[in-house]
Amino acid sequence: MRQLKNPQAIECVVVRIVMVALLRRCFGGGYAACMTAMWWHTLPNAITSLRFGLAVVCLALLGSIAGMPIAERAMPGWWAIGIFIVAAITDVLDGYLARKWNAVTPFGRVMDPFVDKVLVLGTFVFLASPGLAEPSDGLGSGVAAWMVVVMLARELLVTSLRGVIEGMGQAFPADRFGKSKMLLQCVAAPLAINLATDGYFHAGEAGISVARWSLWLAIAVTVCSALPSVIRATTLLAAKASK
């Protein structure tokens, strides 16, 4: 076989081989294989990374709002609400794309729940701070410090159980109770931000009641959602011990 001594010729051959392999994978394996081979296979991870950036911006806004006078909080508050909602929507989007394109990666498995906790728990931590929980006009987010402790304790408990069970080689995916908890928290957080920033819901008692009840419902479901995970983990551990 004739040797290629020209570096440009070698590079050209390598590029051709890669392109041929890529085309064969795409058109030989069908749509799913093509999705796996193309660059947008990494799109779910990119969306997760984007959500992390949005979470940081949202938390930075909340931190700055806490030091503002009540009269200056409305517009930054709406920005924080909008960013939170967009970030929450991307949580649904990246998971959907990862499953559809068979693009579930170790990065996504680690970063997706991590970013969710940064966004949601971080938001409630700021909402429980003195500047947002109890502003000078007597109204505030309504988020108490113990509520954040409850949310954090639930996440630590379930995450610890998941680590133990998956360390045994058993799958421990999120159930519908955990997803319901996340949904209600993502509803309660923007409403609480609105209350803390003297926004729309300060116009009437009905709006304030909706925001308050959504928060209490989110806390109740947060507590209850831990029970199925504890039962599942206990059952799996008992089955493992009996073998």
Structure tokens at 216: 């209490």
Residue 102 has a pLDDT of: 82
Residue 70 has a pLDDT of: 82
Q: Which CATH number is 42-242's, of 3.90.1150.10, 3.20.10.10, 1.20.120.1760, 3.30.1490.190?
A: 1.20.120.1760
d(CA 59, CA 80): 8
DSSP 128: T
Contact 142, 197 (CB under 8 A): no
Q: What residue segments make up the domains of the chain, in order of their start?
A: 1-37, 42-242
pLDDT tens-digit map of 143-168: 999 999 999 999 999 999 999 998 88
Amino acid residing at 242: S
pTM, rounded to two decimals: 0.81
Residue 199 has a pLDDT of: 60
Structure tokens at 71: 């009269």
Alpha helices in the chain (DSSP H): 7-37, 43-65, 74-100, 106-127, 130-133, 145-167, 176-196, 205-242
Question: Strand, coil or helix: what is 143?
Answer: coil
d(CA 98, CA 202): 40
* Averaged confidence pLDDT in the chain: 84
| Closest among 148, 142, 117 to 202, alpha carbons compared | 142
Residue 110 CA: distances (Å) to CA of 49, 98, 114, 163: 12, 13, 6, 12
Question: Strand, coil or helix: what is 171?
Answer: coil
| Closest among 221, 231, 220 to 180, alpha carbons compared | 221
Rg of the chain over all Cα atoms, to the nearest angstrom: 24
Binned at pLDDT 50, 70 and 90, residue 198 comes out as confident
Torsion of CA 94, 80, 182, 196, to 10 degrees: 180
Burial per residue of 171-196, b for 16 or more beta-carbon CB atoms within 10 angstroms, e otherwise: ebeeeebbeebbebbbbbbbbbbbbb
Contact 122, 61 (CB under 8 A): no
Residue 106 has a pLDDT of: 85
Higher pLDDT, 64 or 100: 64
Q: What is the mean pLDDT of the segment spanning 113-135?
A: 93
pLDDT tens-digit map of 9-38: 555 545 455 554 544 554 455 555 554 445
